[in-house]
Every structure is written in C-alpha cells, then in structure tokens.
Amino acid sequence: MTAVVVYGATGHTGRFVVAELAERGFTPIPAGRRSAGRSSAGRRSVRDGMRTASVDDPTALDRALDGAAAVVNTAGPFALTAGPVIEAALRAGIPYVDVAAEIEANASTFADYAQAATPIVPAMAFYGGLGDLLVTAALGEGRRADAVQVAYGLSSWHPTAGTRVAGQVSHARRGGRRVRFRNGALEYHDDQPTQLDWKFPEPLGEQPVIAEFSMADVVTVPSHVDVPDVRSYMTAVAAGDLADPDTPAPEPGGDADQAFVVDVRVRVDGVERRAIARGRDIYAVTAPLAVEAVRRLVAGETRATGVASAGAMFDAADFLHALAPHITVELP
C-alpha cells in the first residue's frame, strides 16, 4: 500500500487524516514533534510506527519522510512548520499538502515555492481549499471574475487549541490589524468589523454575519483567479464562539452537531454564479479534502506544477463531487 506521512498526527485534525488515509487504503505513517497515545476514535493508535522529528532538525525530518509517497502537514502554527516540512518534501521528491488556515503562512508558501519541483498544495482544508474549489467550479473554464464572496455559515464553532494558537500567531504577525483582499492585493487595516444579514441556503436560512472576516480564501483564490476583490463572511454566532476564550474545544471524536453551509457567489461581467457546499464538522471534513488531494497527487491527476491552490491543481467540479457523502455540493 502507498505510504503517506501525517505530520502532526497527534492533533485533532491529524487524527482524522490518519483514519481517513487508512480507510482509503493508504498506509498512514504518523509523525510529529512528539509522540502520543491511542486515538480516541479507537480505530488506530497514533503511536503505531510514530516518527518523531522537530521542525528545526532537517535530518530527523528526512528520516520521518523516508519511504513515503506524500506528506500531509496538519501541525500548526504553520508559520513555524510549513517551510521546514516543505523543504523536507522537496529533498524527498514527494508532494506536500497542508491544512493551514493562516493567511500569512499561506502567502509565504505561495511566494517562496513558486518554482518548486514537486507539487505543493497549501490550505487543503475546510478554510482555503473548499472555498477555492467552489469558486473555481463556479467559474467553469474561466479564470477571471469581477468579485468573489465566500460566506461561511456555521451553526457553531468549537475551536481546537491549535486553531487558537494559529490565530494568535497570525494576529501577532499582522500587528493586531485586520486583513482583506481589495484592489488586487492584501490590505492590512484598522477598520472595525461590521455586521450584516446573509441569506444562506437551507438549513441555515438568513443569518447575521461578520463582514470581511477574512480566511485563507483571500490567498488561495487570487493565486490563480484574476479578481480585484475577494471577501469572506462568517456567521456571527460562530465568530462569537471563536472570540470567547471559554468556548470549549471539540470532543476528540468530532463535532457532529455542527452544521455548515459554504455559500460562494462569483460575479463575472455583471452575472452572478453560485456554488454551495453543505456538511458537518469543519475539522472532520478537512480529512477527506486532504486525502482526496493526496490520492490525486500520487496518481498524477493534476493540472499544475509547483505550488498551487486546490482549484488550480485539480479538476474542481470533479474533486467536489468526489467528496460525497462527507460534503454535498450544488454547482452552476
């Protein structure tokens, strides 16, 4: 069976990726900065064959990737881990996938590895990858848009400890300022967030959202779509959960009660095109996104070389349909 290293296998998302790889017929090789005990899912111990490697030890990283056909990096903050693990993947000559939602870390990956000899797909997760695939599918064969809107409808959000740490790192890197993609570039600003109502498809319906709640889409989409304005929105209830330090982390087995709707609206020459995704548990569905990307990379089912977002690397519509039953989609 094809071996795939999961760096950060002991984390909440990493455990889902390990389980998904095994279910899809791969041989997952758990790796990370430290060892850990048995997965709460009970299907596999992440201690089995665990390879330990610090990101500041290139030799250990090389050993961790030995014999693998690809590596999935689920260990944040990605500002610290992405570069070293990518470099190890390049030395091994294998594809690299990560699940980074950190805007600055993703921007650095695109900037630093444009000429990479092996495929690199950052943000291959619920935030970044899914929205980028939906935008690309909505555009069809086009690669130009007047504006892109990505609205995240979450019924709730129980952030992991990793999500909180990554958010703190991003907040520090931008000096506490907010970020948006406007006039064709990332723009850091001090404007206060505003709230408006967004009419989501069922099952959410109309919800108050925080406008310009920028996620990784402000990096992934403009990396291959000629568009001056990319805006993302978040349901106010989910933004409130994230902001509240007392919101508990998700249970180890997942958060099946959390429903989501991602509503993408792309305007081209005055005509709106819409793509919608529905599912449950934003961390759990990151696993099929990342593993489907690995499957296609290993099989050579790609459309780009070097570093590329999900929409640029893969056939977006075909990829989205392959995510069923984890995620259901409506495409134009």
Q: How far is CA 16 from CA 120, 224, 237, 288, in A?
A: 21, 29, 25, 9
182, 223, 215, 226: which is closest to 313 by C-alpha? 223
Query: In this prediction, what percent of the chain has a pLDDT beyond 90?
Result: 93
- d(Cα 166, Cα 103) in Å, to the nearest integer? 10
Residue tagged 């490697």 (tokens): 53
- Name the helix (H) or strand (E) containing 277: strand 271-280
Query: Are 267 and 144 within one domain?
Result: yes
- Model pLDDT, residue 240: 97
Query: Are 182 and 50 within one domain?
Result: no
Q: What is the mean pLDDT of the chain?
A: 94
Contacts of 321 (CB under 8 A, 6+ apart): 329
Query: Are 144 and 249 within one domain?
Result: yes
Query: Are 197 and 78 within one domain?
Result: no
Q: What is the pLDDT of residues 52-76, one digit of tens each?
A: 999 999 999 999 999 999 999 999 9
Query: What's the token pair of residue 147?
Result: 């504006």
207, 309, 222: which is closest to 263 by C-alpha? 207
Query: Are 255 and 270 within one domain?
Result: yes
Quote the DSSP letter at residue 34: S
pTM for this predicted structure:
0.95
Query: Are 67 and 185 within one domain?
Result: no
- The three-class DSSP label of residue 300 is coil
- d(Cα 279, Cα 261) in Å, to the nearest integer? 7
111, 9, 27: which is closest to 68 by C-alpha? 27
Query: Are 244 and 291 within one domain?
Result: no
Structural domain for 174, as ranges: 128-280
Count of domains forming the chain: 2
Cβ–Cβ contacts within 10 Å for residue 255, how many? 19
Strand ranges in 70-223 using DSSP code E only, listed in sequence order:
70-73, 96-98, 120-121, 147-154, 178-182, 185-189, 195-199, 206-210
- Model pLDDT, residue 37: 47
Contacts of 164 (CB under 8 A, 6+ apart): none
**What is the CATH number for 290?**
3.40.50.720
- d(Cα 313, Cα 300) in Å, to the nearest integer? 10
Taking a C-beta distance cutoff of 8 angstroms, is the pair 224, 141 a contact? no
- Model pLDDT, residue 48: 67
Q: What is the pLDDT of residues 253-304, one digit of tens each?
A: 999 899 999 999 999 999 999 999 999 999 999 999 999 999 999 999 999 9
- Which amino acid is it at 116? A
Query: Are 163 and 270 within one domain?
Result: yes
- d(Cα 293, Cα 329) in Å, to the nearest integer? 17
51, 59, 56: which is closest to 18 by C-alpha? 51
Does 42 score more than 50 pLDDT?
no
Query: Are 149 and 116 within one domain?
Result: no
Query: What's the token pair of residue 141?
Result: 């064969």
Residue tagged 């134009």 (tokens): 332
Query: Are 39 and 119 within one domain?
Result: yes
Query: Are 269 and 136 within one domain?
Result: yes
20, 15, 22: which is closest to 40 by C-alpha? 15
**What is the CATH number for 216?**
3.30.360.10
Averaged pLDDT, 88-96: 98
- Model pLDDT, residue 36: 52
Residue tagged 């389980």 (tokens): 19
Query: Are 117 and 13 within one domain?
Result: yes
Q: What is the pLDDT of residues 109-162, one digit of tens each?
A: 999 999 999 999 999 999 999 999 999 999 999 999 999 999 999 999 999 999
Q: How confident is the model at residue 49 (pLDDT cuts 50, 70, 90)?
A: confident
